[in-house]
């Protein structure tokens, strides 16, 4: 017999508990039932049964009203959960507002109930959605997984929503991996539809325990002509991984993502990376990607890293002087009386400088620069400080060298700031900055001071290795800037190479023509239906088995002879675009795609190449990139899931908040 047909029992006494606002007491034969008015479930309604089981049911009942039972569950919130006694913590419940305030409407995730919104005052509560929201919060903000076990967090959640069962550490870990797999599939699908090609940045990380990691990040210009990046993998390299195995790890990741045929360039964060690694990658992917005959556009080294490296050379060479200045600054800042005397002498010397002497943090070499810069300005004050330890006194020659090194470091800091702070670091911005460093190094090598000229020679040797690998790629990207075209290459090469400048200019011109021809051949194949947009381009590999390897090139050249002028020729012959600060090169190429259909394809891939891999957070760090202890202690698969998904979710947030940083990287701690 249905509950609806049962007779309502006469209540022998008034039911005083508020729980009965949500149950109807019915009697069948000699048995009393409590029937939930929300879901019609029958529970024991005997006066001997109490009301605890009824309160427990309301906590689990999916059809009840959250707000209506909030007072009912106040007692439940104060009961023990594991070893936690929430009642021991003061809540000051009497000060809570009795009136319900309707909160702001909050949207669900984009692909879940996309057009719906929930109101916190409504009667609907989804514990599954709340669990995933908690996991996303942990991922997005880099919180430790163990936070769900923290007493304060449990208290907060139970106060906010008593009906939410706080999950265990292992459960939230599974939820994070679940989100990772879902997001990974979404990005995989996006890559499969991407028209342009992908540039891969490879960065090495470590942990306080000296574990080694490799971070693979895809950089590309999407179909809306916006520069994008996605961390693809964050892999743990165990002790069995030798350096020559790194290429196999990289290639496997590319194949897992099915983007090996879309690869355009690979950027390494260290100029000293073994060239054999690059050669092995070239050998395995050369048949499925466009490249110049010498492969320069494949092998890219991070510009900011080479500048960091030569800055370290300068600081190391001046180490004795830096130690003396550091000791002097420590002495001046040791007491207020000494600092007051220091400032008094500065006024007597006519130094009206509002800067204060600062002590550096050696792991951040830009702080060492600031210490040196200020000390050089106060050199006469240090000289006249009578109580200063003689061991800290600098000779005139040492002050002169310190002043010169300050000018070196100042230039490098300014240029690294340009790279690391740019929210849209397209490849065209690097050529003029790197050329300026090249010119200055040439000048520094001419110094009459043997110490400075020797240092500059060492710095230039390291720079030249970088320049030999990356100069063509830098020049091609600059040529594709409509404000400069070939003229910027001609301007800088005449200063760098002097009498041999014309030969170098021709190399850059021939290089961009060769790459353009590869894109033209691909365009011809697409028009004929034998290739798809975004598929592999013809390569210059020597495959003797392909008897018709030159046919595509011949077909392209013979058809081109019938064309009046190519995209590239038209682009180079037309007037340059006026130079202004608000210029957006990607938007320019998006607008001019109909005018330069083939060249714009090439420009999208070239401009998306990461010429530098240093984010602003640690642009001047001398100790390498190190994970914090929370992430380094995680299992490898979980660590990768959290780091990659954090990057993906933050990128979605960046789309909604344009002011946020372009780079989203793993959590970072300073090295000791």
Task: With beta carbons less than 8 A apart as the criterion, state whether 641 and 180 touch.
Answer: yes
CA dist list (Å): 562 to 526, 555, 558? 19, 11, 7
pLDDT value at residue 107:
42
pLDDT value at residue 521:
80
**Is the per-residue pLDDT at 204 higher than 80?**
yes
Measure the CA angle with vertex 275, ends 519 and 539; round to 5°.
20
Measure the CA angle with vertex 324, ends 321 and 325; round to 5°.
85
Q: Which of 15-19, 113-117, 385-389, 602-606 has the lowest mean pLDDT?
A: 113-117
State pLDDT tens for residues 287-334: 544 444 444 457 888 898 999 999 999 999 999 999 999 998 998 888
Model confidence at 118, pLDDT cuts 50, 70, 90, reads very low
State pLDDT tens for residues 628-665: 878 888 899 999 999 999 999 987 765 544 333 333 44
CA dist list (Å): 522 to 266, 278, 504, 535, 605? 21, 25, 28, 9, 14
Q: What integer is the mean pLDDT of 495-508?
A: 95
Q: What integer is the mean pLDDT of 577-598?
A: 92
Look-up: residue for tokens 């300026």?
436
Look-up: residue for tokens 């880099």?
142
pLDDT value at residue 617:
67
Closest CA to 525 of 516, 538, 513: 538
Q: What integer is the mean pLDDT of 421-434?
A: 92
Look-up: residue for tokens 């109909």?
594
Average pLDDT, rounded, for the chain: 79
**Is the per-residue pLDDT at 198 higher than 90?**
yes
Q: What integer is the mean pLDDT of 475-481?
A: 96
CA dist list (Å): 558 to 149, 420, 512, 526? 71, 45, 20, 17
| Rounded Cα–Cα distance for residues 460 and 309 (Å) | 11
| Rounded Cα–Cα distance for residues 98 and 100 (Å) | 6
State pLDDT tens for residues 360-409: 888 888 899 999 999 998 888 888 877 777 777 888 899 999 999 999 99
| Rounded Cα–Cα distance for residues 143 and 164 (Å) | 20
Closest CA to 537 of 333, 289, 370: 289
**Is the per-residue pLDDT at 143 higher than 50?**
yes
pLDDT value at residue 642:
94
- For 519, phi then psi, to 5°, come to -70, -35
CA dist list (Å): 402 to 418, 440, 459, 506, 559? 24, 17, 16, 41, 62
DSSP 214: E
Residues of the chain above pLDDT 90, percent: 38
State pLDDT tens for residues 214-269: 999 999 999 999 999 999 999 998 776 666 678 888 888 998 999 988 888 889 88
Model confidence at 278, pLDDT cuts 50, 70, 90, reads confident
Q: What integer is the mean pLDDT of 158-179?
A: 87
Task: With beta carbons less than 8 A apart as the criterion, state whether 23 and 1 touch.
Answer: no
pLDDT value at residue 560:
52
Identify the bridge partners of residue 230 per DSSP, sorted by sequence position: 218
Model confidence at 11, pLDDT cuts 50, 70, 90, reads very low
Q: Which of 94-98, 383-387, 452-456, 486-490 has the lowest mean pLDDT?
A: 94-98
- What is the pTM for the complete model shown? 0.74
Model confidence at 535, pLDDT cuts 50, 70, 90, reads low
**Is the per-residue pLDDT at 162 higher than 80?**
yes
Q: At how many degrees (to 10) do helices 396-421 and 450-479 cross?
A: 20
| Rounded Cα–Cα distance for residues 530 and 412 (Å) | 49
- What is the secondary structure of 500-547 as a DSSP string? GHHHHHHHHHHHHHHHHHHHHHHHHHHHTTSS-TTSPPP-----TT-T
| Rounded Cα–Cα distance for residues 74 and 6 (Å) | 32
Model confidence at 488, pLDDT cuts 50, 70, 90, reads very high
CA dist list (Å): 638 to 27, 175, 502, 570? 55, 11, 54, 52
Identify the bridge partners of residue 346 per DSSP, sorted by sequence position: none
Closest CA to 395 of 296, 291, 321: 321
Q: What integer is the mean pLDDT of 152-178?
A: 87
State pLDDT tens for residues 593-638: 999 999 999 999 999 999 988 776 667 776 678 888 788 888 999 9
pLDDT value at residue 54:
83
Closest CA to 631 of 620, 645, 650, 610: 645
Residue 527 vs residue 95, higher pLDDT: 527
For 56-71, give one letter per residue: b (16+ CB within 10 A) or e. ebbeebeebbbeebee
Task: With beta carbons less than 8 A apart as the criterion, state whether 322 and 315 touch.
Answer: yes
């Amino acid at each position: 017999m249905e509950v609806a047909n049962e007779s309502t029992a006469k209540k022998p006494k008034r039911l005083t508990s508020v729980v009965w606002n949500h149950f109807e007491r019915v009697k069948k034969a000699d048995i009393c039932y409590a029937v939930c008015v929300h879901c019609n479930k029958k529970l024991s309604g005997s006066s001997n049964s109490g009301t605890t089981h009824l309160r427990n049911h309301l906590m689990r009942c999916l059809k009840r009203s959250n707000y209506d039972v909030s007072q009912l569950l106040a007692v439940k919130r104060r009961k023990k959960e594991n070893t936690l006694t929430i009642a021991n913590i003061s809540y000051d419940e009497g000060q809570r507002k009795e009136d319900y305030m309707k909160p702001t409407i909050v949207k669900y995730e984009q692909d879940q109930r996309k057009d719906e919104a929930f109101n916190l005052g409504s009667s609907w509560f989804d514990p599954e959605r709340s669990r995933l929201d908690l996991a996303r919060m942990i991922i997005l903000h880099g919180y430790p997984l163990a936070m769900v076990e923290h007493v304060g967090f449990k208290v907060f959640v139970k106060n906010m929503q008593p009906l939410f069962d706080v999950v265990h550490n292992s459960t939230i870990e599974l939820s994070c991996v679940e989100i990772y797999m879902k997001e990974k599939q979404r990005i995989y699908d996006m890559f499969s539809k991407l028209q342009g090609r992908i540039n891969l940045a490879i960065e090495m990380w470590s942990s306080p325990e000296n574990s080694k990691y490799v971070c693979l990040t895809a950089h590309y210009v999407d179909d809306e002509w916006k520069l994008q990046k996605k961390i693809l993998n964050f892999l743990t390299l165990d002790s069995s991984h030798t350096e020559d195995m790194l290429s196999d790890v990289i290639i496997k990741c590319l194949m897992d993502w099915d983007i090996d045929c879309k690869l355009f360039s690979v950027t390494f964060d260290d100029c000293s990376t073994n060239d054999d690694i690059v050669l092995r990658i070239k050998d395995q992917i050369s048949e499925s990607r466009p490249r110049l005959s010498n492969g320069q556009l494949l092998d890219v080294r991070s510009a900011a890293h080479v500048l960091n490296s030569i800055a370290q050379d300068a600081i190391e060479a001046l180490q004795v002087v830096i130690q003396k200045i550091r000791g002097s600054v420590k002495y001046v800042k040791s007491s207020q009386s000494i600092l007051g005397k220091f400032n008094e002498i500065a006024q007597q010397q006519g130094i009206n400088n509002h800067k204060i002497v600062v002590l550096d943090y050696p792991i951040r070499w830009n702080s060492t620069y600031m210490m040196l810069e200020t000390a050089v300005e106060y050199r006469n004050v240090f000289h006249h400080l009578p109580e200063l330890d003689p061991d800290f006194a600098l000779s005139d020659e040492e002050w002169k060298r310190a002043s010169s090194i300050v000018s070196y470091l100042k230039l490098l800091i300014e240029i690294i700031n340009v790279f690391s702070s740019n929210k849209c670091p397209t490849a065209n911005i690097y050529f003029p900055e790197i050329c300026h460093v090249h010119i200055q190094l040439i000048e520094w090598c001419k110094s009459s001071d043997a110490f400075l000229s020797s240092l500059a020679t060492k710095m230039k040797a390291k720079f030249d290795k970088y320049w030999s690998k990356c100069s063509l790629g830098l020049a091609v990207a600059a040529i594709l800037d409509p404000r400069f075209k070939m003229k910027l290459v001609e301007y800088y090469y005449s200063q760098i190479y002097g009498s041999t400048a014309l030969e170098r200019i021709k190399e850059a011109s021939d290089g961009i023509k060769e790459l353009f021809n590869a894109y033209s051949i691909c365009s011809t194949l697409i028009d004929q239906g034998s290739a798809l947009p975004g598929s592999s381009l013809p390569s210059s590999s020597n495959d003797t088995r392909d008897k018709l390897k030159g046919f595509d090139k011949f077909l392209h050249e013979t058809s081109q002879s019938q064309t009046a002028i190519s995209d590239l020729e038209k682009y180079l012959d037309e007037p340059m675009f006026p130079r202004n600060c608000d210029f957006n090169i990607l938007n320019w190429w998006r607008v001019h795609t109909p005018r330069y259909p083939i060249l714009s394809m090439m420009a999208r891939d070239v401009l998306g190449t990461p010429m530098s891999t240093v984010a602003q957070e640690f642009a001047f760090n001398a100790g390498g990139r190190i994970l914090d202890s929370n992430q380094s202690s995680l299992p490898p698969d979980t660590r990768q899931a959290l780091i990659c998904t954090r990057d993906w979710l933050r990128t979605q947030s960046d789309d909604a908040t344009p002011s946020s940083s372009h780079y989203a990287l793993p959590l970072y701690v300073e090295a000791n």
